[in-house]
Chain A
């Protein structure tokens, strides 16, 4: 009740103040402006994101005193998607905003709703350009770092059991057998947070692409299916094998991400398929584990073709509704973010957990071991590819539930792959793709 009164008081005071100055002051405020611009910037409310956005805003204003940037936040996940889509479609978007790249960005209808920023193409890395491009134009600059969908592993446990990093699935399973005999949970799974179940499938995409090049295109055109492509179905098979062999931790059904990371850091579990960005949380929760945790790509059938599946950073976009002086200022800001100064600014705001997508930006030497391992894959020609969600707009929403079913022994891999193909069909039809 009191809160409401205060809000009411503030509102009426603000109205009064506005009313008081609006009549005569219009001219003078223009004079005073002298080219000063204030830009609004919408970011999601994850603490790391907010730190990055505010760090960039501060450093940019320090160099360009005429432009101030105010950061607004929105929820993450689906609720955030709805906010972004609604504000874009009503022309009510902030002057700039941060949002996913890849298939989610494509769902914003970029040709209609976003301003192309081709001027910065020269500063960006090719994989990122693919994931913010549409019809030969690019629409955003990177906000953050690359991450990988890979296997994090405890190096101490590996050393103690005399294991070496596996390059094929058979080597991986052989390692698991030894780990199990040694009394360590070979593979950590955490279905208390369902999204963590998908890494065996999503993180396996480099291996799919290596076995049948161009798979993503055929998949988008409804010419290739998970159930009928052995390399693609392998992800589901792997998940089932790990469960059937009893290689997962006992509390897999209820454990959460934090539990999984702690198990890994403490060496109760040896390997955890997860996104590499989770390393920062692992280190924050378990100080001193920076160099104990390593990373390797999800192993596939062929050691020679094994490689890392990477996720492109989020993008920073300018909506079509930003015009005039604000558009110029916003482009200047994007130029700053897509340059070495932007990378430095980001590095000051948070610990980088993956390579930058801006050419000429180097990671500091102090990064955790897992990030160094990731860099080795990226530096090697042909040892990394973008995740499927950046190459194809088709991703079924029920994948996490299906993976939980396979990983818990409720559904077999074959049936799961077929079910996922059906799920994907709904997405393709909703997007109005050809051939579905």
Chain B
């Protein structure tokens, strides 16, 4: 019932804005105004992107390069560390993105309700976003130390023997993912707060007249109408998760062994070792992977958007 109201209202609003203008109006500015930006974009982005496709097919050093066809890709996909890195990347991206959506939405609902110290709590939640990632990584590395870390010492007080969060192969990746969520959930919350605040009050008033409970309000009004915010959060955090590197590098360097290696840290290590061709190939794979996941997802999510 409430959804119907919402849908109708949405349709009416869309109609009220009038028919779309018939043709694109000619811009008063000449096209060559694009030129400076286009040159910068081409030199700093397009040219390196295209050349990287070529160099991924070579074995190159600072001194010379040798064309070797698809050998780099073959090596890349035969390498167990690289394949597990690919899998870790996806797990990491999905876990961080999912948790950010759930926790961000929960916090946003809490922080848009009438609670004491709302402004203060909002800044507390947002604060980790402002801190340097490396700083966060190093701090948590110390906190999560299995022997002398604050977290395990606190657990010991209540009689729990905490695991080696970053040194036990079965926990390392998830521990880093949780720290990533701690650091990134503030941004998700902020986006959700903006999304929830922009829902017109009439819906809530209408729902109150209909006698809706708080839960119904949430499920039938907030959830559907905050959908653009959800999409933004999913997209941003998924892209961020797929390319994540700095936090992982600061906390575990992909270790112990290769158990928390993601594709970006694998690429970095190849580069460090001087396997420039191989790391270029890795970057192309990362580029294609991000595109292959994000592009259709973004198309799908955009097609689902509703007007307020």
Q: Is the CB of B256 within 8 A of A404?
A: yes
Q: Is the CB of A251 within 8 A of B59?
A: no
Q: Is the CB of A426 within 8 A of B278?
A: yes
Q: Is the CB of B81 within 8 A of A429?
A: no
Kindly list chain B residues whose C-beta atoms are within 8 Å of the C-beta of A401: 81, 254-255, 257-258
Known interface pairs A86-B62, A404-B255; A398-B274 also in contact (CB < 8 Å): no
For the complex, count residues of A whose C-beta is within 8 A of B: 30
Kindly list chain A residues whose C-beta atoms are within 8 Å of the C-beta of B166: 254
The distance in angstroms between the C-alpha atoms of A401 and B147, with both chains bound, is 22
Interface residue SS majority, chain A: helix
B164 within 8 A of A: yes
Interface residues of B in 114-147 (CB under 8 A from A): 145-147
Q: Other than the known A85-B62, A253-B167, what 5 A-B pairs have Cβ atoms closer than 8 Å? A: A401-B81, A405-B258, A426-B275, A430-B277, A432-B59
Known interface pairs A426-B275, A430-B275; A253-B63 also in contact (CB < 8 Å): no
* Closest 10 pairs (CB-CB, A-B): A253-B167, A405-B257, A397-B273, A78-B272, A251-B147, A89-B62, A254-B167, A410-B257, A404-B257, A401-B257
Closest to A419 in B: B80
Closest to A113 in B: B63
Partner of B79 from the list A89, A253, A422, A430 (CB cut-off 8 Å) is A422
B75 within 8 A of A: yes
A168 within 8 A of B: no
Looking at chain B, what size class is its interface with the partner chain? 20 to 34
- What's the count of A-B pairs with C-beta under 8 Å? 76
B88 within 8 A of A: no
Interface residues of B in 68-108 (CB under 8 A from A): 75, 78-81
B269 within 8 A of A: yes
Kindly list chain B residues whose C-beta atoms are within 8 Å of the C-beta of A194: 253, 255
Kindly list chain A residues whose C-beta atoms are within 8 Å of the C-beta of B244: none
Min C-beta distance of B34 to chain A, whole Å: 32
Partner of A107 from the list B167, B274, B275 (CB cut-off 8 Å) is B274
Q: Is the CB of B256 within 8 A of A408?
A: yes
A280 within 8 A of B: no
Q: Is the CB of B164 within 8 A of A254?
A: yes
Min C-beta distance of A87 to chain B, whole Å: 11
The distance in angstroms between the C-alpha atoms of A401 and B79, with both chains bound, is 14
Q: Is the CB of A89 within 8 A of B146?
A: no
B66 within 8 A of A: yes
Which of B169, B274, B278 has the most chain A CB within a 10 Å cutoff?
B274
Q: Is the CB of B278 within 8 A of A405?
A: no
Q: Is the CB of B146 within 8 A of A430?
A: no
A402 within 8 A of B: yes
Partner of A426 from the list B75, B169, B253 (CB cut-off 8 Å) is B75
Min C-beta distance of A79 to chain B, whole Å: 9
The distance in angstroms between the C-alpha atoms of A89 and B60, with both chains bound, is 14
Kindly list chain A residues whose C-beta atoms are within 8 Å of the C-beta of B255: 191, 194, 401, 404
B283 within 8 A of A: no
Q: Is the CB of A427 within 8 A of B62?
A: no
B259 within 8 A of A: yes
Min C-beta distance of B239 to chain A, whole Å: 27
Min C-beta distance of B287 to chain A, whole Å: 21
